[in-house]
Structure 1
C-alpha cells in the first residue's frame, strides 16, 4: 500500500497526452514507465528514493507516493515542486495564447495547438544533466546514455523502479565509469564537475527569480554553455522567457514557417524570438510542436 496519496486538480482542457509523451520518450524507461492514463516516476528527494504513481483523469491527477517511510519536510517541499514540473503545471499557456493571437507567423500555429504545455524534468538537476547528456548527439543515442546514467548513478526503489539520481549520487562516479559506457570524456567531466559543485554546496540549484544570477552561476561551470543554460531554465526552472535561438530544431521550425530554403542563423533567430517576449519559452514549445504537424498556411 502507498504511504501517501494526494490529488491535484487539473485545469480545463488539460492535455494529458502531451505529458505522457514527454515522460514516455524512452520505450525502455527505467526511471519512467508510461501506460494509458498513468505515469510512474522514480526520484531521489532529500536522499530518499521515492516512487510516484500518477493516474491522470480529465480534471484530476491522483498520485500514490511510496517513499518506504515518512518524508522529511525538505523532501515534501521538493515533491510539491517536482509534481508541478512532471505535470507541466508551472507555466500557464493561456497568456501566450492571447498574446500571439494576432501574430502572422506563429499565431495560426499556436491556435491550432492551443493548450500545449511545457512539461519539465522533475528536478533542476535532472534538467541540467539531461541537457549535458543530450547536447550535440541524436535523440535516440541521448536517451540510451541517459538510461545508462540513471542505472549507474541512481538508486533502485523497492518496487523495482529506478530513481533519477541526486548530485551526491553522481559525484561518487569516476570519469571512467562514464567513458566506458559510451560517454565522451567532455560530457563525463562536465557531469561530474556539476555534480561535485552542487554536492559541495559551491553551486546552488535552488529555484530563484534572479535569472541573471542563475545564468551567470551556471555559465561559470566549465563545459556548460548558453544553450545548456537556456534549456535548464526552460525544463528545470520553468522560466517563461527563455531564448532558444541556438537550438537547431527552433531554427528549422522558423525555416519551415517562413518558407525559406535555409535555416535562419542564430542572430536572426534571436531577433525572431524577441518578438514573443516575455513568452519565449511557450514560443519555443510551439515551434518544436510545429515540426510534427502539417505546414498549413494561414
Structure 2
C-alpha cells in the first residue's frame, strides 16, 4: 500500500456541513462514508484503488491517501483534482452572492445561507454516469441504482469500501446485468454506450476540457439530452453557468418562490435563469437548497 498525506486549505466561511451532508446521502456507505467531520471515499485512479480519507478542520482539509498500488505523477494529479471536486472547491460562490445581494428572489436565500457550495464528482466519468442514472427518477431510487452500478462494475479497496468504476470497468458489463437490477433498458443502453465510448477513446472525458467543447460532444450521444449534459458539466467540470431548466426540482423551487400554482415550463424557466448568467449553476444550487436544505 502507498500512503501519502495532503493538506488542502479551505476558504473562509467554508460550509463543511453542506459538503458532509452531500457525501452522506447514501446511508449504505458502499463507496463513501461520513462520520463526524470525516469523509472516506474510495476511487479508482488510473486503475489503482485509492481511499481518500479527509478530515475537515476550520481552515483546512487534512487528507490521508491510501492506494492499493503505486501512484505515478499522473495518478497523483488526478488525486489532487478529485479532492478539489469532492471538497466543492471548483466554483467560488462569492461572485453569485455579490451579484444577487439586492435580488428579490435570491437575495433572501443567499442571506440565509451565504457561501453555499456545490460538490463535484471525483471524475467526469462518475459525473456523467451519475447523471444518466439519475435521469427522470427520484433521488432515493437513483442512489440505489448508483449503489448497484458500483457493486457490479466497481472494485474493492482494502479498506472495505468500493471504488466507483472507471470507464473500462463499466464497459465490460452486459445489458442483462443492468436490466436485471432495476435499470430501464434505455438507461442501461446509455450507460454502456458512454462507458464503451470512453474506454475506446471515442469520448474524451477530462476535467481540464473546455465545457463549451464538451457539451456538443455529449449532446451528440444517443440517450443524452440537455439536462444530462448540463448536470455533467456541473458535477464533472465545475462549470459555473449550467442552465438546469430541465430539472424538476429547479422548476418546483421556482414555482414556490414565485408563489404560483403550476411549475413554469422549460422555456420560461430557461428564460428566467438566463438573467443570472454567468452564474446559473449557483442559481440552481440555491433553488435546490430552498427545497431540500442541501444543494441537489
Q: Match for residue 138 of structure 2?
A: 138
Structure 1 contact 208–214 (Cα < 8 Å) conserved = no
User: Following TM superposition, by how much is the alpha carbon of 1:103 offset from its aligned partner in structure 2, in angstroms?
Assistant: 1.1
User: Following TM superposition, by how much is the alpha carbon of 1:210 offset from its aligned partner in structure 2, in angstroms?
Assistant: 3.0
User: Following TM superposition, by how much is the alpha carbon of 1:127 offset from its aligned partner in structure 2, in angstroms?
Assistant: 0.7
Q: Match for residue 47 of structure 1?
A: 47
RMSD: 1.2
| 1:107-142 residue CA offsets vs partner (Å, 9 max, x unmatched) | 111121101001111111101111111111111111
User: Following TM superposition, by how much is the alpha carbon of 1:69 offset from its aligned partner in structure 2, in angstroms?
Assistant: 3.5
Structure 2 contact 53–65 (Cα < 8 Å) conserved = yes
Q: Match for residue 85 of structure 1?
A: 85
Match of 1:291, SS state, is: helix
2:67 is equivalent to residue 63 of structure 1:
no
Q: Match for residue 252 of structure 1?
A: 252
Output aligned runs, 1:260-275, within 5 Å. 260-275=260-275
Structure 2 contact 6–63 (Cα < 8 Å) conserved = yes
Matches of 2:258 and 2:182, distance apart in 1: 38
TM-score (norm 1): 0.96
Unaligned runs of 5+ in 2: none
Output aligned runs, 1:164-183, within 5 Å. 164-183=164-183
Structure 1 contact 3–69 (Cα < 8 Å) conserved = no
| 1:229-258 residue CA offsets vs partner (Å, 9 max, x unmatched) | 000000111000000011111111111111
Distance 1:292 1:148, change over 3 A: closer
Matches of 1:92 and 1:178, distance apart in 2: 37
Matches of 2:209 and 2:193, distance apart in 1: 24
User: Following TM superposition, by how much is the alpha carbon of 1:209 offset from its aligned partner in structure 2, in angstroms?
Assistant: 5.4
Matches of 2:79 and 2:209, distance apart in 1: 20
Matches of 2:139 and 2:13, distance apart in 1: 29
* Count of equivalent residues: 293
Match of 2:137, SS state, is: coil
User: Following TM superposition, by how much is the alpha carbon of 1:2 offset from its aligned partner in structure 2, in angstroms?
Assistant: 6.5
2:281 is equivalent to residue 281 of structure 1:
yes
Output aligned runs, 1:145-164, within 5 Å. 145-164=145-164
User: Which deviates more from structure 2 when the two are superposed, residues 66-75 or residues 22-31?
Assistant: 66-75
Matches of 1:278 and 1:100, distance apart in 2: 12
Structure 1 contact 131–231 (Cα < 8 Å) conserved = yes
User: Following TM superposition, by how much is the alpha carbon of 1:206 offset from its aligned partner in structure 2, in angstroms?
Assistant: 1.6
